[in-house]
Structure 1
Amino acid sequence: MTTANTEPAPAPTQDREDLLTVSGLVKHFPIRKGLLQRQTGAVQAVDGLDFSVAKGETLSLVGESGCGKTTTGRLLTRLLEPTAGKIVFDGRDISHLSDGKMRPLRRDIQMIFQDPYGSLNPRHTVGKIVGAPYRLQNVKTEGGTKKAVQELLELVGLSPEHYNRYPHEFSGGQRQRIGIARTLALRPKLIVADEPVSALDVSIQAQVVNLLEDLQNEFDLTYVMIAHDLSVVRHVSDRVAVMYLGKIVEIADRVSLYEKPMHPYTLALLSAVPIPDTKRKAKRERIRLTGDVPSPINPPPACRFHTRCWKAQDICKTVEPPLLQLAPGHQAACHFPENQPGEKPVDVT
C-alpha cells in the first residue's frame, strides 16, 4: 500500500486517559500426558505483554498466525483466565475476577468474533440473537426489547423486518452486521474485534470497516482490533502493536510504524503488503524470511525472532531485548533496530 505524504498523524497522546492497561500479561496452556495427566510442558501463547489503550482509541494487534493475537483478545474480555499479569479496565483490576463479579462488567466489554457463520446460533431468530444481552443482563428498555433490537438493526444497516429471520437467510456481511448489533446492545465502552472482516469478501470488507468507524465516532467506542490485513489496519488504527511468538516486538502510532518501522520483523511484514503502483513496487525491497515460525512450546531463547532475522548477532541469542521507546511514542524490542532517528527510512510501503 502506497504511503501518502499528507497522511494525518494520530491525535497527541500526552493528555490521554487510558481505558485499558495491560502489564506482564501471560497465558500458558499446559500440556499433560499419561494416566495421571502430569504436566510435561506448556504452550506459551502469550508471554509478557505490556500496553495500554486510551478512551476512544483503536489499537490494532498484528502478526502471523499463531503469534497470540486471538488469545490476547480472549484474555482482555476474560473469556480466558490469565496465567499471570494484570488487566486493569476503567481503573479496576479484572485479571482474576470470578464469573459472578465479571458479569456486570460484560456490559462494558464486548467482542466481535471472526466467523460470522459460527458465531450466530442457527436455531435462533435475529431478534432473539441480538436481544440476548438484554435478557442475560436483565436490562429493561424503553418500548421493549423488540423495539430496541429493531433500532439496533437499523443502526448497522439492516432492516427492522429482519427481526424474525434466521441467520441462514443472510450473507456473510449481513451476518457480521448482526454480530455487531448484538455487541452494541448494551453500549459497551471497549470492543475487542477479532478479525472482523477476514472471513468476508473484499467488496464487503470496506462496508463493515466503515460501519465500525462510524459507530466508534457516534458512541465514543474504544477498539482493540485483531487483524492480519495490514492495509485494513492502516486504515482503521490509531496505534499498531506487532506481535511475534507471544510477545510485542514493536508498538507505535500508525504513521510512524508504516513509514519508519524499527523492528526487522515489522519491516518484513510491511514489505509483503501488495501495492498497486508498479514503479514503486519495483523499487521496494522485498524481505523474505527463512524458516518457519518456531514452536510456542519451546520458543528460542532471548530474542524470539533471532532464528529468522538477517541482523541477528550473538547478543540476540543470549540477551532478550526490552521493549524500549526509541522515538517519541515509538517502542521496539530489538538490539539492532532500523530507522533510528536521523537515519534515512527504509522504503517497505
Structure 2
Amino acid sequence: MANTDNILEVKNLKKYFDMGRGSVLKAVDNVSFSIKRGETFGLVGESGCGKSTTGRTIIRLYGATEGQVLFNGQDVHKMGGRDLRSFNRKMQMIFQDPYASLNPRMTVGDIIGEGIDIHKLMAGRQRQERIYSLLETVGLNSEHASRFPHEFSGGQRQRIGIARALAIEPEFIIADEPISALDVSIQAQVVNLMKELQEERGLTYLFIAHDLAMVKHISDRIGVMYLGSLVEVAEGNELYRKPLHPYTQALLSAIPIPDPEIERTRERIILEGDVPSPINPPSGCRFRTRCPKAMPECAQIVPELKEVEPNHHVACLLYS
C-alpha cells in the first residue's frame, strides 16, 4: 500500500535503450526514492548519469523498462483513459532549454494557453485573463502574450516555460536543469521564483541539476546519482555537512568556497579516469573504478542503498 504522505514513489525503476547489435544502454538502473507532498527533492550528478532520463520516465515521456512509478498511489505506466488525462494535468515539466522547448511559431499566449485548451478548463475572456495572470505571476506582463519566443531573453523564456507548466494548476513539477542554460545573474531569480510559487501554491518539485550549490539552496532532500544508480540520499543540510559516499565527497569538494583562505587550505578530491560507459558498466559497485577507497570486494558485490543514519541512505560497502 502506498504511503499517503508521499505524492511520488519510484520503485526499482529501470530504463534501458536498445543500441543495436546486442548492446543495451542502462540509463537508469534500479532507482528507488520517494517524494513527500510539498517538498523539493533534488537529483544531482555528472552529465550522463541518468538524472534527466529518470525525470522523463517518471512523467511518461519514456516508457519504463522495469519498476514502478506511483503518483498518488497509482502506477503511472499502467494508466489509461481518464486516469492518464488526470495525471497529465497534475504533473508538468519545465525543460532545460527554454528556447527549444517553446514552439517558435506560436505566440506566448498560445503556448501558455495550449494546456488550458487541451484540458478544456476555460475559454474566451476567462482564458485570456488566466494567461495574463500567469505572465504577471512569473514577472512578465500582459503585453508579452502577443509576442513570439525569439523576442525574449533566455531568462524570460524560462519564465514563460514556468507559466506554461503552471497553467493547468499541477500538483507536481519536474524541473529538468531549469537554470543550466541561463546566465548566473538570472539563475537565482528563477530559483527564487520557483520557491515563492511553491509556497503560494503548495507545489511539489523534482529539481534535477548538476549545480550542487543551487540544489542545496532549493532542496529539502537530495539524491546523488552515478552511472544510472542512486548512491546517496539525505536531507540537504545533512548531505552537505556529512557526505558519506566517496562520490558525494568528491562532488562537494569541487564546489568553490567564496572565502579564499578556506578555499586555499581545504582538501580537493580529484577523481581519476573517465566515467565508464553505461553500455558496459563495471561489475559490482559502478564507482569502484574511480573510487579512492575501493576494496577488492567492490568488484563482486553490488551495494544496496541502505539507511546507515536516520534519514541518510548510502550505497557503499564501507557502511555495510
Q: Could you tell me how far 1:140 is from its partner in structure 2? A: 1.7
Aligned to 2:9: 21
Given residue 45 of structure 1, which amino acid in structure 2 is its aligned partner? A
Q: Could you tell me how far 1:28 is from its partner in structure 2? A: 0.3
Aligned to 2:141: 159
SS in 1 for 2:78: coil
Q: What TM-score, normalized by structure 1, do the two folds share?
A: 0.89
Given residue 110 of structure 2, which amino acid in structure 1 is its aligned partner? K
SS in 2 for 1:274: coil
Q: Quickly say closer, same or farther: Cα 1:322–1:74, change in 2 above 3 A.
A: same
Distance in structure 1 (CA, Å) of the matches to 2:149 and 2:19: 37
SS in 2 for 1:268: helix
1:55-93 per-residue CA deviation (whole Å, 9 max, x = no partner) reads 000001000011000000001111110000001001111
Matches within 5 A, 1:5-84: 17-33=5-21, 40-84=22-66
Q: Could you tell me how far 1:320 is from its partner in structure 2? A: 0.9
Distance in structure 1 (CA, Å) of the matches to 2:174 and 2:199: 16
> How many residue pairs end up in the alignment?
318
Unaligned runs of 5+ in 1: 1-14, 34-39, 341-349
Given residue 254 of structure 1, which amino acid in structure 2 is its aligned partner? G
Aligned to 1:346: none
Aligned to 1:120: 102
Aligned to 1:249: 231
Given residue 29 of structure 1, which amino acid in structure 2 is its aligned partner? F
Quick one: percent identity of the two aligned structures?
54
Distance in structure 2 (CA, Å) of the matches to 1:18 and 1:100: 22
Q: What TM-score, normalized by structure 2, do the two folds share?
A: 0.96
Aligned to 1:343: none
Q: Could you tell me how far 1:282 is from its partner in structure 2? A: 2.1
Matches within 5 A, 1:95-244: 95-98=77-80, 101-140=83-122, 143-244=125-226
1:119-166 per-residue CA deviation (whole Å, 9 max, x = no partner) reads 111111011000000111121269421111001001111011111111
Contact 1:26 1:49 in 2 (8 A): yes
Q: Could you tell me how far 1:281 is from its partner in structure 2? A: 1.2
Distance in structure 2 (CA, Å) of the matches to 1:63 and 1:102: 30
Given residue 256 of structure 1, which amino acid in structure 2 is its aligned partner? E
Distance in structure 2 (CA, Å) of the matches to 1:68 and 1:100: 30
Given residue 310 of structure 1, which amino acid in structure 2 is its aligned partner? P
Distance in structure 1 (CA, Å) of the matches to 2:49 and 2:180: 17
Given residue 173 of structure 1, which amino acid in structure 2 is its aligned partner? G
Is 2:253 aligned against 1:271?
yes
Contact 2:117 2:123 in 1 (8 A): no
Contact 2:4 2:72 in 1 (8 A): no
Distance in structure 2 (CA, Å) of the matches to 1:45 and 1:102: 25
Q: Which has the higher helix share?
A: 2
Given residue 283 of structure 1, which amino acid in structure 2 is its aligned partner? T
Given residue 175 of structure 1, which amino acid in structure 2 is its aligned partner? R
SS in 2 for 1:43: strand
Given residue 12 of structure 2, which amino acid in structure 1 is its aligned partner? G
SS in 2 for 1:111: strand
Aligned to 2:306: 324
Contact 1:85 1:95 in 2 (8 A): no
Unaligned runs of 5+ in 2: none
Q: Quickly say closer, same or farther: Cα 1:325–1:142, change in 2 above 3 A.
A: farther
Distance in structure 2 (CA, Å) of the matches to 1:231 and 1:273: 7
Distance in structure 1 (CA, Å) of the matches to 2:178 and 2:264: 32
1:268-322 per-residue CA deviation (whole Å, 9 max, x = no partner) reads 0000011111111122110000000000001001100000001111110001111
Contact 2:13 2:68 in 1 (8 A): yes
Aligned to 1:5: none
1:159-218 per-residue CA deviation (whole Å, 9 max, x = no partner) reads 111111111111100000000000000110110000000100001111100000000000
Distance in structure 2 (CA, Å) of the matches to 1:261 and 1:142: 53
Q: Quickly say closer, same or farther: Cα 1:99–1:175, change in 2 above 3 A.
A: farther
Given residue 56 of structure 2, which amino acid in structure 1 is its aligned partner? R
